[in-house]
Amino acid sequence: MLAIERRRLILSALDVEGSVLVSDLEKRFAVSNQTIRRDFEKLEKQGLVKKTHGGAVPAESLSAEQPYKMRTDINKAQKLIIAEKIAKLVEASENIILDASSTCVMVAKKLRKKANLTIISNSVEILAECAAFENLNLISTGGALRGSSMSLVGQGAVQSLKKFTVDKAIVSCKGLDLTKGIMESSLDEAEMKKAMVNSARQVILVADSSKFNRMAFAKSLDFKDIHCVVSDNIPGEWIEFFQENNINYL
């Protein structure tokens, strides 16, 4: 087995199991302790895992499994900047999709004064936060609950999104790479992003500055799928890339 394939399987095991042990992976792949530890080092450098005593966990597991309030405190200032910019791009009476990210929860709060706005979301947090806003029409995608992200995923949610055509889809990501595209931490989340994009006339990607030049487990979108990127800070090489590919950026 090639090293790249073994590392892909390690990431898949982490997505399902939440953590892995060196001793278990030695037996699973019939390789040495040192080989698995080198795999961990390579994946940690890529920002995909965090090494622990005797094993590894997903790099984002420490934040993804925390209560919602704690997760929103991560890069909170940057996310607030993004939310304020997004609110100016959404018009009253539009139909929009918001994904299940802490940034989009902040976006939803900024939209509370928009009249007759329809929000479709797979975020339990967004549905709960906005339920009391009488001027907003809320639609849930339904689906299976993914507790680590408080999101609704699966084929039920994907199929429900196919029923809609909206003005804008506002989606986030776990990583952006100039050659590999836009990435998510799980296949379920990646499939949801694809379905959201397919239902929207305009796609706005929200990504705080920590997401640039960062790898994640599953590719969700190509850059041709998005129309605009909103961030608190965009690295210089990315500005050039967006200009070359006719992608607007704020």
51 phi-psi bin (left φ>0, alpha ψ -120 to 50, beta other): beta
Q: Where in the chain is the domain with CATH 1.10.10.10?
A: 3-59
Q: Where in the chain is the domain with CATH 3.40.50.1360?
A: 68-249
Which CATH number applies to 68-249?
A: 3.40.50.1360
The CATH architecture of the domain made up of 3-59 is: Orthogonal Bundle (1.10)
Distances in Å between the Cα of 83 and the Cα atoms of 22, 95, 125, 198 are: 41, 17, 16, 23
Q: What angle do CA 247, 181, 87 make, to 5 degrees?
A: 45
The pLDDT tens digits for 9-18 are 998 888 767 7
Q: What angle do CA 85, 86, 92 make, to 5 degrees?
A: 120
Neighbours of 4 (CB within 10 A): 10
> What parts of the chain have a pLDDT lower than 50?
61-68, 70
The β-bridge relationship of strands 55-58 and 117-121 is unpaired
**Amino acid residing at 134:** E
The pLDDT tens digits for 226-235 are 999 999 999 9
pLDDT at 72: 59
